[in-house]
Amino acid sequence: MKMKVLILGGFLGSGKTTLLLQLARYMVGELQGKSQYKVVILENEVGKEGIDDKLLKGNGFDVENMFNGCGCCTLAGELVGAADRIQTLYQPEWLIVETTGLAYPGLIQDNLKNGMGIESKICTVADASRWGRLIKPMHNLITGQIERADEVLLNKVDLVQNTQLLKIKQDIHRINKGVKIFETSGIGTVGTGIWEKVLRVAL
């Protein structure tokens, strides 16, 4: 069976790992009481040391790591090699690539397509609580992370007023017209309906 790939991107501190934990638990069936998918997570961290991978492994998930660079550029070769090895060794139904907060998910998508002929889906996490503070100084990076997203998880909505949320969604749609935006809060439980939509891929 062909491995499906979800690229989970988004700026630093947006809540990718927190949401990934919930998504992974949903996928392996913990939230429904029955096993659903075989999942492997590929963690990319730009620093020399991994931190999020330990948390994910501590929660019982299968995790491969790429440290010391970014899968969209410096570790592009390693990314393809890692994905290929994961497919061969584990034959998972799903591979989730959690990017670094500095990565452009679109480039990772291109690397996987060019290197392995694998199609993938991009889900980008946006930080509602820091959007106003970051959108100007980090404009290029945040734009680059959203513009090719298939879905955006607008996270930490519990920390933001509704009027601000509306403005943020308008900003996001200016970057990526018509992209589906789901409001999430990592401190609560994300509804399984959202995960069903995120995973529904026409690959």
> For the packed helices 16-27 and 192-199, what is the interaxial angle rounded to 10 degrees?
90
Q: Which is nearer to another protein, 4 or 148 (CB)?
A: 148
Q: Among candidates 1, 15, 3, which has minimal Cα distance to 159?
A: 15
Contact between 105 and another protein (CB under 8 A)? no
- Interaction mask 142-181, another protein, x per CB under 8 A: --x-------------------------------------
CA–CA distance, 17 with 99 (Å, rounded to integer) = 10
Contact between 81 and another protein (CB under 8 A)? yes
Q: Are strands 94-98 and 4-10 parallel, antiparallel or unpaired?
A: parallel
State which amino acid sits at residue 178.
G
Q: Which two tokens stand for residue 129?
A: 């609580």
**Cα three-residue angle 65-68-69, rounded to 5 degrees:** 95
CA–CA distance, 41 with 9 (Å, rounded to integer) = 13
Q: Rule CB under 8 A: choose which of 34, 48, 170, 177 binds another protein.
A: 48
Range in contact with another protein (rule: CB under 8 A) among 99-107, 118-126, 182-190, 194-202: 99-107
Least distance to another protein, CB of residue 57, Å: 5
Least distance to another protein, CB of residue 196, Å: 27
Helix, strand, coil content of the chain in percent (nearest 5): 40, 20, 40
Contact between 76 and another protein (CB under 8 A)? yes
Range in contact with another protein (rule: CB under 8 A) among 26-34, 65-73, 175-183, 194-202: 65-73
CA–CA distance, 195 with 182 (Å, rounded to integer) = 10
Least distance to another protein, CB of residue 85, Å: 9
| Contact residues for another protein, defined by CB under 8 A | 11-13, 45-55, 57, 62-70, 72-78, 81-82, 101-104, 106-107, 110-111, 114, 133-134, 136-141, 144
